[in-house]
């Protein structure tokens, strides 16, 4: 069956679901025309790990705020917890004056990771505009990659890039390389935020109008915004 006819049939089939809300139906039909509704669900163990990482990040944000508010005891246990929290939150400082080898590796991995996401989106959009089939692997897995980004990797990447921008602004004397690094970090942060926004948009669920319903993704958005707010406040304290 031609791609045009297949997409039309898919849209007509989805339109028959009367239980969907009006806004959800419209969004679902748009995504159907894009050819990404046959996504492959996350494996349960991976989903559990992502949920745990998300909760651990929230716990360490609160722990971090507590450490800022109260004097350090310098105990061995606190040192271990601080190290682990920095690992989960991406708080290990990237010194833009003199990069250590591991810091270069971290920045290179962030760049490659975000380029991977953008490449997948660019390939999908190009094929869609040319009315060609999007590869099955992309259709089934790119949204799961977005889940991994939202629940596990967004916050550490955000904190690392924000720290680079703050260093470039505060360090004196200002060097041209600082402005290059700051521009680089801002562009990557825009991509980082855009991927999260896209994840919220393409989340297809049978939602209700009740804002407190478990079938509504408002809690996820609120949790996401709270994590960003606490992380930024902790950075400047």
Q: Are 140 and 40 in contact (CB under 8 A)?
A: yes
DSSP string, 120-168: HHHHHHHHHHTT-PPPHHHHHHHHHHHHHIIIIIHHHHHHHHHHHHHHH
Structural domain includes residue 97: yes
Structural domain includes residue 90: yes
* pLDDT at residue 27 greater than cutoff 70: no
Q: Are 50 and 56 in contact (CB under 8 A)?
A: no
**Which tokens sit at 216?**
């509504």
Give tens-digit pLDDT for 104-114. Answer: 888 899 999 99
Structural domain includes residue 41: yes
Structural domain includes residue 67: yes
DSSP code at position 134: P
**Which tokens sit at 157?**
């990447």
Verify cis geometry, omega within 30 degrees of 0, for the bond prior to 159. no
Domain enclosing residue 84, as ranges: 35-236
CA 5 to chain CA centroid, nearest Å: 34
pTM above 0.85, yes or no: no
Structural domain includes residue 15: no
Structural domain includes residue 140: yes
Cα distances from 123 to residues 3, 109, 129, in angstroms, run 17, 21, 10
Q: Whole-angstrom Cα distance, residue 149 to residue 173? A: 36
Structural domain includes residue 23: no
* pLDDT at residue 218 greater than cutoff 50: yes
Q: Which residues of 201-219 are buried (b: 16+ CB within 10 A; e: fewer)?
A: ebbbeebeeeeeeeeeeee
Structural domain includes residue 20: no
Give tens-digit pLDDT for 189-205. Answer: 999 998 888 777 766 55
For the four alpha carbons of 33, 188, 221 and 147, in that order, the dihedral sign comes to: positive
139 Cβ partners below 8 Å, 6+ apart? 35, 36, 38, 39
pLDDT confidence tier of residue 214, bands split at 50, 70 and 90 = low
* pLDDT at residue 173 greater than cutoff 70: no
> How large is the average pLDDT for residues 41-68?
86
pLDDT confidence tier of residue 157, bands split at 50, 70 and 90 = very high
Q: How many domains does the chain have?
A: 1
């Amino acid at each position: 069956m031609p791609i045009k006819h297949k997409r039309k049939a898919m849209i007509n089939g989805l339109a028959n679901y009367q239980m969907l809300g009006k806004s959800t139906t419209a969004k679902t039909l748009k995504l159907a025309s894009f050819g990404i509704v046959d996504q492959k669900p996350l494996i349960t163990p991976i989903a559990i790990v992502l949920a745990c990482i998300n909760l651990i990040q929230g716990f360490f944000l609160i722990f971090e705020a507590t450490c800022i508010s109260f004097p350090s005891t310098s105990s061995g246990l606190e040192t271990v917890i601080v190290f682990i929290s920095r690992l989960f939150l991406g708080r290990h400082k990237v010194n833009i004056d003199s990069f250590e080898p591991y810091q270069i590796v971290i920045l290179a991995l962030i760049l490659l990771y975000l380029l991977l996401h953008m490449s997948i989106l660019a390939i999908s959009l190009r094929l869609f505009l040319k009315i060609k089939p999007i590869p099955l692997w992309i259709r089934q897995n790119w949204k799961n990659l977005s889940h991994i980004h939202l629940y596990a990797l967004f916050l550490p990447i955000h904190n690392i890039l924000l720290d680079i921008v703050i260093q470039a602004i505060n360090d004196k004397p200002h060097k041209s390389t600082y402005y290059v690094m700051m521009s680089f970090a801002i562009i990557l942060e825009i991509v980082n935020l855009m991927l999260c926004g896209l994840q919220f948009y393409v989340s297809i669920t049978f939602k209700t109008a009740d804002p407190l319903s478990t079938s509504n993704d408002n809690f996820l958005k609120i949790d996401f915004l709270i994590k960003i707010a606490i992380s930024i406040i902790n950075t400047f304290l």
